[in-house]
Amino acid sequence: MALYITDECINCDVCEPECPNEAIYMGEEIYEINPDLCTECIGHYDEPQCVEVCPVDCIPKDPEHEETEEQLMGKYEKLTA
């Protein structure tokens, strides 16, 4: 399951540089996550780094992009090939 950023985002700029897949970008009003690039840091770290550094806890799992750990690992492998 990819992650997404809710409208509680305060644009503090700490999540974007932490993403190893460069999935986080500035949207029209708040940061957003490209679900095609988000692997929840599987393959890179044990925990999603954006979630670890977010001061307002506004990065939950995206129910519209459900993926298994195996699917996320496959996405990681394609992105790092």
**Block means of pLDDT (10 residues each) for the chain, length 81 residues?**
94 97 97 97 96 97 93 95 90
State the Cα–Cα distance between residues 53 and 63, nearest whole angstrom: 22
pLDDT tens for each residue of 68-77: 999 999 999 9
The listed CATH number (3.40.50.300, 3.20.10.10, 3.30.70.20, 2.70.98.10) that belongs to domain 16-80: 3.30.70.20
State the Cα–Cα distance between residues 56 and 46, nearest whole angstrom: 21
Q: Structural domain boundaries of the chain? A: 16-80
